[in-house]
Amino acid sequence: MREEVNALQKCAADIAAIEELFGEESPELWARYLQLKDDHKRLVSDVQHVLRESGRSGKVVVGEVTFTVVRTSKRKARLASLLAAAKEEGDIEALIEHGLLSYSADPKQFDRLPEYLRERYSDFLNTVPSTTRVSIPRHLK
């Protein structure tokens, strides 16, 4: 991970130095600048990938650079099973009234259900991982 972050830092520093010299309009310099911009995009992606795969979350410090890694998850409803159980229990109207159902299940509304409905239907919701976000410090973008 340190190697990718060091490469990203060097690339960002090179980009900043070359941008100062653009006034001279050197074709060679322009070509180098464009290559570094392409390298930078790839290196940012590489660092994000390494951080996602590291399994770490929160503030991750690599050398002198602090990254923020946020792992998120989503609740998903197994709609067919939930509807079948709600129909059997006679709760479809109550689930619609409380916002859990609206022709599709809205797992974000689960906590708003009365306790007896939460207990009865909690097994129909799963928490699944979603995309891990990695924030690159502004000076390295």
Cite the beta strand spans of 8-117 per DSSP E.
Answer: 58-62, 65-70, 73-77
Distance, CA of 61 to CA of 30 (rounded, Å): 33
31-59 pLDDT per residue, tens: 888 899 999 999 999 999 999 999 999 99
For the cut 90, the answer to whether the pLDDT of residue 87 exceeds it is yes
DSSP string, 121-138: HGGGEEEEE-PPEEEPPG
pLDDT, position 27: 80
For 1, counting Cβ atoms within 10 Å of its Cβ (0-12 exposed, 13-18 middle, 19+ buried), the class is middle
For the cut 90, the answer to whether the pLDDT of residue 28 exceeds it is no
pLDDT, position 62: 94
Tell me the C-alpha to C-alpha distance, in Å, between residue 29 and each of 9, 21, 22, 23, 139.
Answer: 20, 8, 8, 10, 21
